[in-house]
Amino acid sequence: MSTDDLYARMRPLKMLIFDVDGVLTDGSLFFGDDGQEYKAFNSLDGHGIKMLRDSGVEAAIITGRTSQVVLHRAKNLGIERIFQGAGDKLESFRVLLRETGLQPAQTGYMGDDIVDLPVLKRSGLAVTVPTAPALVRNQVHYVTHAQAGRGAAREVCELIMQAQGTWAEQLAHYDR
């Protein structure tokens, strides 16, 4: 897809929805002896999400797993719309659309596996990471250069801000 076509898909976005494992993390799952789940998140991704939110694009999460650490990370990033334990991600997506009044073309979705395909196919912008199965990579609009949990979310946030003309304004906060 050309940059012009990609930017055309990004301009109308009002929300970017993220899967967690394999997108905001590298997909590794860590469990303590007590059963507590641990995840490693990237600070660059987090700041990209905050800048995107500040530019007027809401962030949301739809994930198949349920974890307290996801709630903590979402709160830290100011993400209020969180669907955990989403066995049917498409249904969660539909609920999100009803709650927000958004059209699918106004949403972007970052997912990394076949369980994400129903939402990826319906979002205005479908994004995955380089380690996603070929079946997924072949059905999205953009595959990030950065790896999952290592700047992939940041990369997409920056591209959206560039497409929407808000990138320079976000950078101006740091050019004092």
2 belongs to a structural domain: no
Instruction: Provide the residue range defining the domain that includes 76.
Output: 13-165
Does 40 score more than 80 pLDDT?
yes
Q: What is the pLDDT of residue 28?
A: 86
37 belongs to a structural domain: yes
Could you report the per-residue pLDDT of 68-83, keeping only the tens digit for each?
Answer: 999 999 999 999 999 9
Token pair for residue 55?
């530019």
176 belongs to a structural domain: no
Could you report the per-residue pLDDT of 94-103, keeping only the tens digit for each?
Answer: 999 999 999 9
4 belongs to a structural domain: no
- Mean pLDDT throughout 8-13? 98
pTM: 0.95
116 belongs to a structural domain: yes
Distance of CA 69 to the CA centre of its chain: 17
Strands 37-38 and 30-31: antiparallel
Does 124 score more than 90 pLDDT?
yes
Q: Hey, what's the torsion of the CAs at 88, 91, 95, 101, to 10 degrees?
A: 130
- CATH number for the domain harbouring residue 122: 3.40.50.1000
Number of independent structural domains in the chain: 1
**Cβ count within 10 A of residue 80:** 11
